[in-house]
Structure 1
């Protein structure tokens, strides 16, 4: 049975935006504007191209022509080449503060910014928030920079015209237009999902670029697309600027984001659950668990409570409740109204700071490195075009874009050593790598020659 898998493609894009008050707001007219040029003229000077390098992979030797082929014909890049991402950003202050996506500059050892006038600067990371995919960087310009005005995403309506500016596939200063297809869209990117969906053409390279209204104001940060192929299919997503603005302000002031925390796990109240809890319709956020000793437990919240109001805001569903809590000042007291066994109860909970997630270290398996392996049998050797008398561990599959693929590992390679231990069976190999967490050293045989390859897991 054939299944179609949509994948969320996160991409990078050069984006730049500036003020524009020359065009009427989209929903003031049912007709398309005669031209989007007024928006483009004021916004493009503030859009910039962001280049981020994440450091070099360890060299393990290799043939120069083979490495060249991988680089320029769509295969894995050279082992000694740094990983790169290209993206977009937009200038929000004349002294050089630039907003982009967190995934564009993630783990970057070098951030380079090219402005619309072709001037280039090294940038410093001010702060990054992976939970919302927002980052703030800073350059030291030689003069005053053009800026973009931040609007409000709260006033957006489905059907409003929007304009995207960015660097799709490296094509700098590209302008596309479309409409708002949906607001408040949840796409499974994290607990603070609240995306603007648009059919404006957005492609890899647009990440971090601005989504603008017809007043030339930024109302979103282009962040993701849904696609089978990685290209635009008319479904793009942007982070609402009202959400991003709160993150930007914290990053600028503190270099990080501090969020409120109650210590509860919530889930959606479905129609079946509502019926089981004795409600006539689904509403509220159902508490599935309460963390022992956390603020919620101390405040009297219980598993099975249904939160219907928080700080005076009606809680209609579980979708936006995490954002309400996250925006609550740490140390303040939140008024929470719940339904418990059909009765309303009002409770007061002291809001704590969301703890940093504890890093989880675990032993790696072969699949973590992008490898599928098997003991080499005569039949398998024949299928792979290897000598039938050869024995050992053979790599049968290498996952695209994996650590193994980037290091130049190929199906048909024979593993002779793993982390300096000689191995001849899959069992021996897995014993040898059991303690590996971040790196793995393999001795591979390809044809008559052997070479060491270092894999690093992100």
Structure 2
């Protein structure tokens, strides 16, 4: 067999391998979006735990309902809580590391009939192994390994919700800062003689909460957050959700006495 025939045979083999998905990087990898684990919350309508993933770049949020045990495993890792004995996901990590493997990444791959599917990519020596998984287990292991978490673009598009972002902010405002906001009406803008239609209305203030202690009142209008102008509730939500957990918020408020600066420190869960 001459060299030309050998070259053609090798080229044909590479083409077949490429089409069969042999190579580690596939076209689908271009559709993966990296996410952060924002936290674990309780859905108010079902009283079920939800893990919330938020895109690193586009800030879309993906809620995934999970079991109570898996919610605890994720929350413990996020809050750096140590246990006396290794729990299930700690044991799984010990086994993975014990055989000289490592978690390279976790991927939320699919959403079918409201059920999420995931994969864990393990690096074993020079090879990679793909393990089918529930999203909650994949997330719990990736957090323990310090590995990135991805969501496929199709899943992100099908499951992300602007309403979820609003719900997350409302829960944070209520629990951590003690107030709620809503969009302001044209009548209120006219009555308060505001310069423009931008801002959000403080619709509720919890007695004894941080907002109450700093003199925030129902009917106040928030014009700025962390120095940025606030156009409406959606704008306010996206500005707030990007803030690091535990950071004070600085707002400019318009009320009966004119504009004033207010700084609020988040309230600890125990308070």
TM-score, normalisation: structure 1: 0.28
Higher fraction of helix: 2
TM-score, normalisation: structure 2: 0.44
Who wins on radius of gyration, i.e. which is larger? 1
